[in-house]
Amino acid sequence: MKRIDFISSLMHKVSNEFVLSYLGYCSRECYSVRDRKENFYFLGAMGMPIPFALGTSFITPNDVFVIEGDGSCLMNMGALTTVGTIQPKNLKIVIINNKIYESTGGQPTATSENTDITGIAKNCGISDVRVLNDLTDFREYWEWLKSSGLKMLVVNVSPGKENVKRISITPEKITSRFRESLITASNTLH
């Protein structure tokens, strides 16, 4: 399965959910497929999407999807322990597992050998974890992701990047429009 095919399927399903995507080609693909003000594109903070999404989940009743890479996730495994302890019901973690650091030259990640992200997540207290190997199963997985509770979906994809456009909006604009969307959504809490 190609990453962009999964991203396209996910981005065409979301409505009022917030989507945070890890740096590099994933964010570019999310932007190219479906740019929205509820998307936050990381442009240079490896290992930080999950902590940022955790904080986001505190201030909105909407589901928060964080699309994280296997290598980036492994760079900040402490985030998984915090998430597993807090158990935010509206946080949905999607790990794109291509087994390489694609944006930096294709070096293998630990998941290419013997590191099992699903096992790590479960040992951190994230008990509801599934693995997607085939896009034809995504409809069933979407229903599961949308159900209440902390979820992690590990999506196994083949290495490879698409020739998609660069993100043309500034980091300041990404931040301001995302913040405005959060304020609007958080007003439904009162």
Q: Where exactly are the structural domains of the chain?
A: 3-189
Region 136-152 average pLDDT: 96
- pLDDT at 169 (0 to 100): 97
DSSP string, 22-50: -TTHHHHHHHHHH--TTEEE-SS-TT-HH
- CB-count exposure of residue 140 (10 Å: 0-12, 13-18, 19+): exposed
- pLDDT at 189 (0 to 100): 59
CA atoms of 93 and 95, how far apart (whole Å): 6
- pLDDT at 3 (0 to 100): 96
- CATH number of the 3-189 domain: 3.40.50.970
pTM: 0.95
Examine the pLDDT at 190 and tell me if it is beyond 70. Answer: no
Looking at every residue in the chain, the average pLDDT score rounds to 95
Examine the pLDDT at 185 and tell me if it is beyond 80. Answer: yes
Region 51-69 average pLDDT: 97
Examine the pLDDT at 10 and tell me if it is beyond 80. Answer: yes
CA atoms of 27 and 23, how far apart (whole Å): 6
Chain segment 91-117, per-residue pLDDT in tens: 999 999 999 988 888 899 999 999 999
- pLDDT at 121 (0 to 100): 98
Examine the pLDDT at 188 and tell me if it is beyond 90. Answer: no
